[in-house]
């Protein structure tokens, strides 16, 4: 699994893998949230990343059996999305 998110595609690839992990550990609610965010058609990339960020933030990693590596990657993906939004909104 990638540990760096250098593009929107890296985030999308991670979300696809995370959906499968959520299903494997029977976190169907998170899998559904991520699928809905990922499949939100007819929106801009920024809107889709925003929806993905909300879904990632909603994952309850404490009550579910997510591996530590995955928990760290969820946090890294959120930070990468936040960073992309900051760069996009920066005047310079």
Task: Check pLDDT > 90 for residue 36.
Answer: yes
35: its two tokens: 């699928």
Q: Distance between CA atoms of 75 and 90, rounded to whole angstroms?
A: 22
Task: Check pLDDT > 70 for residue 92.
Answer: no
Question: Residue ranges of the domains in the chain?
Answer: 8-89
70: its two tokens: 């995955």
Q: What is the pLDDT of residues 45-67, one digit of tens each?
A: 888 899 999 999 999 887 888 99
Q: Distance between CA atoms of 79 and 73, rounded to whole angstroms?
A: 10
Residue 26 falls in which region: left (phi positive, over 0), alpha (psi -120 to 50) or beta: left
DSSP state at residue 6: -
35 vs 65, more confident: 35
pLDDT (0 to 100) of residue 46: 86
State pTM to two decimals. Answer: 0.84
């Amino acid at each position: 699994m990638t540990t760096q998110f250098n593009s929107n595609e890296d985030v999308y690839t991670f979300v696809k893998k995370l959906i499968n992990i959520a299903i494997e550990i029977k976190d169907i609610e998170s899998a559904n949230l991520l699928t809905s965010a990922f499949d939100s058609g007819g929106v801009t990339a920024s809107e889709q990343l925003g929806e993905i960020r909300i879904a990632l933030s909603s994952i309850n990693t404490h009550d579910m059996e997510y591996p530590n590596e995955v928990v760290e990657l969820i946090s890294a993906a959120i930070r990468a999305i936040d960073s992309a939004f900051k760069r996009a909104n920066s005047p310079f």
